[in-house]
Structure formats: C-alpha cells, structure tokens
Structure 1
Amino acid sequence: MSNAQDANRSFFSFGNPFRIISPKGPKISSQLLLVLHAFEATLEERLRKLIPKSKDEMLSLSWMTLAMKALCESHNDVKTLIMELELPVQDWDEKWIDVYLDISVKLLYICIAFSSELSRLNQGHLLLQCALHNLGSSSSEQYVRACSSLDGWKQHIGSGNPRIEKCGNILDDLLESLALPKIKKSAKGKVLMQAMYGVKVQTVFVCSVFAAAFSSTTNNMSHLDVADIYSWAPTFKRLQDLVNEEIRVRFSRGRFNVLNELEAVDSSVKELYPIIQGTVDTNETESVVKIIGELGRTTEKLSQGLDLLTEEVDSFFQVVLTGRDALLSSLRSGATVIDSILLGNRDAQIVN
C-alpha cells in the first residue's frame, strides 16, 4: 500500500481463502449450517446499513462512527459464535491461534494509530476556539490574533502523523491473513473460519477507509475481490465500490480532506481570511457575523463528531484486547474457549 498503483490489488496472490468450503473437508451438519447462515445474514445486514443513501452521507464522522460500531458488533458476534459452537481451546489448531494473535496485535496498533489521529484533530479544536474568541471583537489587534490561530490550525491539521503512515504496511499484512488455514478434521472449525473470514474482510475494508481518510491519500485503500459464493459478497462489493470511488473523486478534486466536517471548517476559514486580513470591506456587519457563526457551527460539529468516533475506536480496542487476553488466559490455564470469552465479556463491561 505504499504505492498508489497497489490500491486496486486483490488478495488472491496470498492463497485461496475459499478452500475452507471444499467438499474434501469435513462435512458440516444442517444445524451448524443454520448457525453459519445466521451469522452471515447478520453480517450482510450490517454492511447494508453502511451503504449511504447519498454521497453527502459518505465519509462523514457520523458514517465512520457507524462503521466502527458495526465492526465492534461483528467481532463480538465471533465471540458469541465460539460459545455456540462449544469449541474447546484444546481443539483449536495452532495455526488458528497464531493467526488470531497476530491479527489482534496488528488491530491493536491500528486502533492506537487511529486514536492518536483523532486526538491530534481534537487538539486543533483549541486553535479554532481561540480564533472564534478573538473574532468576537472588531479590533484589528484581535483580528491579527485570530489570523494567527487559524494559521496554526491549518498547519496543525496539515501535518502528518507517523503512526497513520505505518498503517499501510500493517494493512498489507492483514490482507495476507485473509488466506485462511486449511481445516482438515473439524466441522465446527470450518464454520468458525468461514465466519471469521467475513469479519476480517469487513475489518480490512473499514480500517483501510479510515487510514485513507486520515492520511489524505489513496495509497492506503484496499480493493477486496470477494467471491460471490458468500451470501454477503454482493452487498459488500456495492459498499466497497461506492466508498472507494468517492474517496478517489474527492482526492482528484484537490479536496483539503475527504472528511466532510474538516472540509466544512476549512471552507469557513477560507471565507473568513480576507476579512481578517483586511482585504475586503468589513462594514457589512451582518455578513461578517454570519460567516463567524458558520465557523462556530462547523467547529462544534467537528468536535462532537471526533468525540463520538473516539469512543467507538476505544470500544473496538477493548473488544480486541479482551478477546486476545481471554485466549491467552485459556491457553495458560487449560480452560475452554467458552470460559475465556465469558471472562473477556465481563472484563469489557468493567472497562466500559
């Protein structure tokens, strides 16, 4: 993902993820199929809810919050599925455990990177508030201070985040993990791997969209060519095509940022700049007050959106962390996966 030309690559070079449904593998009972179909139907419905009704809804902080919430729910559904399958940890193949632990480490880093970026964007809110405070006065001295604050905001928002820049390599690794381990003996394991495949596709997609939005580049975008044998595949493809295309269009137009709320603030700042610098007539007080009021509204909306998204990213971090800790605990104690998941859910409730 370090190169723009890699944006549309699929993951088939990493192996065939669909071998888990090969007839040569263990036969899945009708009861297990019902469990799997219910899981995948819920996943498809979640993906459908992320399809925006209009382009204006796309790539807003509210949409990103919804996407992260859906991700939390899907990962929690995996925990529930494990309990329903009653699959003891002793029956887990070492490859499954290694893959799960490796993925969880990468997801924890991505969560930390996203949280750091949201915190950085929130810090810019202080500069905007300072500018708005100074714009409450009509004195030239206060205007100079407001101008300085807005300059500081633009420099702050435009600066890079090293943690976000590293997300590209991590997303590359997550793409490789989509090639699932081969299941030889366990029908329950086969169901679990197929369910986890769907959640991993959702995870890579959401994280790649976040990384692209935060890095202001298409280099971090992924294109996942999911086979139609999965019931949720058509819905996912529609969602992916709509979002990825909109990101490309916005960057091609030279957008300051693909996020709606950031772009709205930047538009207000650009409109105010000539007034602050004294290059236009400021005698029309009503017009000036209107522009300042718009900056105040867009600034507040940005702040609220960042706070809500930060909460969901933190929730996803806790979901991944408690699941990982539960599995490690079960490996040390010899407990069942069911006990581990229950422990993880209890800890998550305490944290929240």
Structure 2
Amino acid sequence: MSRAHDINRSFFPFGNPFRMKSPRGTKITSQLLLVSQAFEASLEERLKKLIPESKDEILSLSWMTFAMRALSESYDDIKTLVTELELPVNDWDEKWIDVYFDISVKLLDICNVFSSELSRMSQGHLLLQCALHNLGSSSSEQYGRACSSLDGWKQHIGSGNPRIEKCRNILDGLLGSLDLPKVKKSAKGKVLMQAMYGVKVLTVFVCSVFAAVFSGSTKNMLDLDVADIYSWASSFKSLQDVVNEEIRGRFSSGRFTVMNELESVDSSVKELYPIIQGVVDPVKMESHTKIVEELGKSTEKLSQGLDLLAKEVDSFFQVVLAGRDALLSSLRSGATVIHSNMGVNRNAQIVS
C-alpha cells in the first residue's frame, strides 16, 4: 500500500459502475432512487455533524466518541436499507459474501486494537490518583512519591502499544475493500453497493484518525479522494480536510500527545514539577492548590472520556459481530439478509 511519498493511485481504474445510465436490465427505478437518496442524505447529515465548529474540538475524546457512534449508526442505516431492498442472500454474488467476511474480520481486529489502547491509557489513571493523593500534603516525602507517580504516568503513556503497529496493515486491507468487483444485473445490488461505499469511506477515515492519534504518528493518516457524483462528497472533503490538517499541525509541533484530554493532564503535570521538586517554594500554596485542582479535573475528564469511548468502540464491535451472525443465519436459511458491512467499488484515490 502506498505511503506519503508514493504516487497517487486509483482504486477504481475501470470506470464508473454507478453511472446514471445503467446497463440494460439493471435500470434503477424511481423507488430505488428515492431509497438511495434518503440513505445518502442521512450520511451527509452525519458527516456535517462531525465537522467541528472549532479546531479545539478535534481530537477530543468526546469528538472521537461521536465519530465512533456515527459509524455504528451508519451500519444500522445499512441494516435498514437491506431490509427495504428485500435483497435475499441467494441474489448475492459469491464474491460479495467472501469480501464481506474478510472486511468484517478486519473491522473486528481494529476494534480490538483500539480497545487495548484505551484500556492501556485507562490503567494510567491509578498513577494519577496516587499523585493527587500525595499532593494533598506539603510533606517533602509525599511530594517525592507524587513525583514518582507522575513520572510513572508519563512513562506509561509514552511507552506505546505494540498492537497499534497492526493498524497500518488493517487499514491497507480496508482500503482495498474500496475496490471490489463490479455489480452486474442487479439494480438493488447497485443501490446497496453505492450506499456501502459511503459507509466504507467513513469507516476508513475514522479508523485512520484513531490509528494516527493512538500511534502518535502520521504514518497511519489517509487522504481519500471521493468522486463529486455523491451528494455527501463535499461534506466529507470538508471534514477530512479540517481534521487531517489539525492532526498534522499538532504532530509537527512536537507535542507530548495530540489528544486534548491527555494534553491537559500533561500541562498540569509540567506546572507542578517545579513545585514538587523544590525548584519553586511550596509555601506558595494558593498557586499550588489551584494547579492540583486543575490536575484533578483533567484526570477525571480523561478517565470518563476514555470509558465512554471504550463503550462506543465495543458497541461498534458488537454491530459488526451481529452483522456476521445475521449473514451466517441468512445463508443457512436462505432468508433475506438483515445486516451488512460489505465494502464497495468506487472512484477513489489514496495518499497515505
């Protein structure tokens, strides 16, 4: 898969399978068109809501939680779409099903990676709590303990997670899912594939942002070039531009972390070091007390944010898992598929 220095390559070199004039026998009816437009309108609205009003909102745990929730809601929309299309499993191309299972495995894998990193960051909460407890005293001995706890927290957060290294390969696989076999002889299949393209674009974007934040590196960042034929394309481009620009700016500034809540805790820790190490007279309790209070607030906000995001990642994991179970059940019974995470074939270029 390409990196930042590679030449842009098209994931769709053979033309547009969703052109307005479909081949004979696959014409999209007005009813199907309305279904497709309703889906795209919902996706566009979701993308607009993800565009932050302020750059300060980007890379906050609350924004990341909202982004992960948007993924779950989008896959729920696909579930509704498949029900409306009444597209039975026996109408699915064998390749669709194979690709579906392959993609869903990748999504489950990346959810597990994200969950492990969120758990690792949450484990640092105890060290911060120990530091806050010892900072409640003016004893030099307890100050020393507080300093040790804060040092331990910084080392823990900065130590990295080996599992994050898997993200690049998983993202490469998800990118490949944007370039699948053409849909033939099925108007309903075309509507489903077109809808799934939008969901897959959102999925790759959100997962790449998470991977970049958790890895502390731009190597997992991706820039998708979406064709303008979609009503939601402009909103997606605006979202991608503002988020990716901010991420790159933060990485280039050499910050300890690019995540807002972690940055807030680190800022308080830096202010406290001169006091707890005796560089500044600890008798100046007013300033000391205020900084400790700020650290306490930042610590609690970080802990709560990590918990909420972890729950959303788990919810998305369950959505994907339920989709696999539903397809397996449908394959056994020959019933209508009630959920899908399948990828799609579309015009897309990638620079990473």
Q: What TM-score do you get using the length of structure 1 for normalisation?
A: 0.93
**Cα distance in 1 between the residues matched to 2:322 and 2:271:** 47
Matched, 1:184 2:167: no
**Cα distance in 1 between the residues matched to 2:203 and 2:8:** 15
How many residue pairs align between the two structures?
A: 338
**Cα distance in 2 between the residues matched to 1:138 and 1:71:** 48
1:336 aligned counterpart, secondary structure? coil
The residue number in structure 2 matching 1:19 is: 17
CA 2–288 in structure 1, closer or farther in 2 if over 3 Å, else same: farther
**Cα distance in 1 between the residues matched to 2:12 and 2:36:** 25
Alpha carbon RMSD of aligned pairs, Å?
1.6
**Cα distance in 1 between the residues matched to 2:10 and 2:216:** 27
The residue number in structure 1 matching 2:64 is: 64
Matched, 1:261 2:252: no
Unmatched tracts of structure 2, length 5 or more: 341-352
The residue number in structure 1 matching 2:101 is: 101
Please identify runs of 4+ aligned residues in structure 1 that moved more than 3 A: 1-6, 13-18
Q: Which amino acid in the other structure matches residue 122 of structure 1?
A: S
Provide Cα deviations, 1:68-109, integer angstroms capped at 9, x if missing partner.
Answer: 011100011111100000000000001111111111000000
**Cα distance in 1 between the residues matched to 2:81 and 2:12:** 27
Provide Cα deviations, 1:175-228, integer angstroms capped at 9, x if missing partner.
Answer: 111013211101000000000000000000000000001101110011000010
2:226 aligned counterpart, secondary structure? coil
**Cα distance in 1 between the residues matched to 2:288 and 2:2:** 44
- Comparing 288-297 with 328-337, greater Cα deviation is found at 328-337
**Cα distance in 2 between the residues matched to 1:2 and 1:307:** 34
Q: Which amino acid in the other structure matches residue 34 of structure 1?
A: L
Please report how far the alpha carbon of residue 234 of structure 1 lies from its aligned counterpart in structure 2 after TM superposition: 0.4
Unmatched tracts of structure 1, length 5 or more: 342-352
1:229 aligned counterpart, secondary structure? coil
Once the two structures are superposed, the pairs formed by residues 57-206 of structure 1 within 5 Å of their partners are 57-206=57-206
CA 278–150 in structure 1, closer or farther in 2 if over 3 Å, else same: same
Please report how far the alpha carbon of residue 274 of structure 1 lies from its aligned counterpart in structure 2 after TM superposition: 1.2
Provide Cα deviations, 1:151-178, integer angstroms capped at 9, x if missing partner.
Answer: 1100100011122111111101111110
The residue number in structure 2 matching 1:43 is: 43
Please report how far the alpha carbon of residue 335 of structure 1 lies from its aligned counterpart in structure 2 after TM superposition: 2.7
Structure showing the higher helix proportion among its residues: 1
Provide Cα deviations, 1:246-288, integer angstroms capped at 9, x if missing partner.
Answer: 0000011111111100000001111111111111111111110
Matched, 1:304 2:269: no
- Comparing 11-20 with 109-118, greater Cα deviation is found at 11-20
Once the two structures are superposed, the pairs formed by residues 270-281 of structure 1 within 5 Å of their partners are 270-281=270-281
Provide Cα deviations, 1:117-149, integer angstroms capped at 9, x if missing partner.
Answer: 100010011100010011111101101111111
Provide Cα deviations, 1:29-82, integer angstroms capped at 9, x if missing partner.
Answer: 000000000000000000000000011111100000110011100011111100
Q: Which amino acid in the other structure matches residue 104 of structure 2?
A: S
Q: Which amino acid in the other structure matches residue 329 of structure 1?
A: S
1:20 aligned counterpart, secondary structure? coil
**Cα distance in 1 between the residues matched to 2:61 and 2:196:** 27
CA 125–331 in structure 1, closer or farther in 2 if over 3 Å, else same: same
**Cα distance in 1 between the residues matched to 2:14 and 2:303:** 43
CA 32–303 in structure 1, closer or farther in 2 if over 3 Å, else same: same
Q: Which amino acid in the other structure matches residue 167 of structure 1?
A: C
Please report how far the alpha carbon of residue 11 of structure 1 lies from its aligned counterpart in structure 2 after TM superposition: 5.8
Q: What TM-score do you get using the length of structure 2 for normalisation?
A: 0.93
**Cα distance in 1 between the residues matched to 2:14 and 2:233:** 16
1:18 aligned counterpart, secondary structure? coil
Kept in 2, the 8 Å contact 1:11–1:176? The answer is: no
Identity %: 77
Q: Which amino acid in the other structure matches residue 299 of structure 1?
A: T
